[in-house]
Amino acid sequence: MKLISVDWSKCKRDGICVAECPFGLISEDEDGFPTVRRAAARICIDCGHCLAVCPHAALIFKGQGPASCLTIDRKLNVSAASAAQFLRSRRSIRTYKDQSIPREVLEELLDISRWAPSVKNAQPTKWLVIESAGEIKKMISLVVDYLSEVKAFPGIISAWAQNRDLVLRGAPHLVIAYASDKSLKPEIDCTIALTYLDLAAHGKGIGTCWAGIFLGAAFSYQPLISALDLPENHRVHGALMLGYPQYRYPRIPQRKALQATWR
């Protein structure tokens, strides 16, 4: 299969695909049409920029034409003011309704995260979704066992003994991002994918909180690592609690002053 094919009847020879290829794998032939450089198939990271950017729908990438792409609906474009409020209004939610999120909604959120940036477009992030109450309780118990072993957060330990969950805060779901140790920068890629998931959930009215205490245990506590049962040579790089918020926030609190150095 050819890496790139050109519909000569549509190509306007405007050089946009040449300019946009991040690795410079496309050049212009003597007639100004795009042509692929040698070794392009080996170097290409499958980003799809060439296919997506052509305003004339003249390129076919690895057998897939423009019809395989999602069409951008300009009516759905977010204004700068809307984006600013959306981002500023995102909160870490620690009080949840006793209500599960439908699996199809979770799948929709996870699907959106597939478009998160990743190093060399490797897309290494994989997901483990803890959705049952029994599995959630099991995760919490293992984290509390870890805290007892390392003698940390005694308040969390004593709260769990009284059936109060300060580990996952009563969230009905825990979504765990993991990746292969062979990935280039799995901790970065998983964090970015989780951020996409976090913001997509906010857009659906779903609350989230980054599960830092769980993550600390998942890094080093073998009983929890075994219970997660990830594929060999894979490890956890982040986790989010998810659930419907018990309360809504009518205002946005202040943050520290911006600290930036300009050069």
Q: What is the pLDDT of residue 132?
A: 95
**Phi then psi for 140, rounded to 5 degrees?**
-60, -45
Q: What is the pLDDT of residue 192?
A: 99
Q: What is the pLDDT of residue 207?
A: 99
pLDDT digits (tens, 9 = 90+) for 159-184: 999 999 999 999 999 999 999 999 99
Dist. CA 37–CA 26, nearest whole Å: 6
User: In the chain, where are the structural domains located?
Assistant: 4-68, 82-243
- What type of residue sits at position 73? D
pLDDT digits (tens, 9 = 90+) for 116-154: 999 999 999 999 999 999 999 999 999 999 999 999 999
Dist. CA 193–CA 126, nearest whole Å: 10
**Region 111-115: what's the mean pLDDT?**
98
pLDDT beyond 90 at 29: yes
CATH topology of domain 82-243: NADH Oxidase (3.40.109)
**Which one, of 63, 68, 91, 65, lies nearest residue 1 by Cα?**
63
Asked if 57 and 65 count as a contact pair (C-beta separation under 8 A), the reply is yes
**Region 9-22: what's the mean pLDDT?**
98
pTM, rounded to two decimals: 0.95
Report the top-level CATH class of 4-68: alpha beta
Q: What is the pLDDT of residue 36?
A: 95
| DSSP assignment string, 29-60 | -TTS-EEEPTTHHHH-----HHHHH-TT--EE
Burial pattern 166-199, b for ≥16 Cβ within 10 A else e, equals: bbbbbbbbbbbbbbeeebebbeebbbbbbbbbbb
pLDDT beyond 90 at 232: yes
Q: What is the pLDDT of residue 1?
A: 78
Reduced to 3 states, what is the DSSP secondary structure of residue 158?
Answer: helix
In which band, very low, low, confident or very high, does the pLDDT at 102 lie, cut at 50, 70 and 90?
A: very high
**Region 45-58: what's the mean pLDDT?**
97
DSSP lists the bridge partners of residue 245 as: 96
Mean of pLDDT over the chain: 98
Q: Tell me the CB-side half-sphere exposure of residue 182, using CA atoms within 13 A.
A: 4
Q: What is the pLDDT of residue 91?
A: 99
Asked if 169 and 241 count as a contact pair (C-beta separation under 8 A), the reply is yes
Dist. CA 207–CA 237, nearest whole Å: 20
- Are 4-68 and 82-243 equal in CATH topology? no
**Region 191-206: what's the mean pLDDT?**
99
